[in-house]
């Protein structure tokens, strides 16, 4: 991802920033198996959540009349 310099010879900061961020991808991708699909992010959140049988339900009424 090391891109060309600007016409004025200065390094292109946008390309340098992208290259810096992409380094983590390059280090990890050799080890990314086919099971690592993006949708597994939502599964990871659900797997990490506490038991859904929470002891409390919402106490804030959506609408009340008195």
Partner 1 sequence: MTDWTIASLAAAIRGRRISSVEAVQECLARVARLDGRLRAFITVDADGALARARALEVEAAAGRWRGPLHGVPLAHKDLFHIGGLPTSCGTKTAEYFFAERDATAVSRLVEAGANTLGKLNMAELALGPFGDNAHHGDAQNPWRAGHVSGGSSSGSGVAVAAGLALGALGTDTGGSIRLPAACCGIVGLKPTYGRVSRAGAMPLSWAMDHIGPMARTVADVALMLEVIAGPDPADTTSSAREVPGYLAELERPPAGLRVALPENYYLDGVSAEVAAATRHALAAFERLGARVASIRLPDPQVIHDVSSIIARAESSAVHSRVLRERPHELQPAVRARLAVGTRIPAHDYLQALRLRARLARDFNEEVFAEADLLILPAIPEPAPTLADATAGEGETIAARMGRFSRLTRPWNGLGLPVLALPCGFAASGLPLGLQIVGRPFDEATVLRAGHAYEGATEWHRRRPSLD
CB of 61 to partner 1, least distance (A): 6
Q: What are phi and psi of 56, to 5 degrees?
A: -120, 140
Least gap, CB of 7 to partner 1 (angstroms):
16
The least distance separating partner 1 from the CB of residue 16, rounded to whole angstroms, comes to 10
By the 8 A CB rule, do 13 and 19 touch? no
Would you tell me which residues interact with partner 1 (CB under 8 A)? 1, 3, 13-15, 17-18, 20-25, 28-29, 32, 36-50, 52, 54, 56-66
Q: What is the 3-state secondary structure (H, E, C) of 38-57?
A: CCHHHHHHHHHCCCCCCCCC
């Amino acid at each position: 991802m090391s891109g060309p310099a600007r016409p004025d010879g200065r390094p292109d900061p946008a390309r340098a920033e992208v290259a810096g961020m992409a380094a983590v991808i390059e280090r990890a991708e050799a080890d990314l198996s086919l099971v690592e699909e993006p949708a597994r992010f939502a599964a990871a959140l659900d797997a990490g959540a506490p038991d859904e049988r929470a002891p409390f339900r919402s106490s804030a009424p959506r609408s009340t009349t008195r």
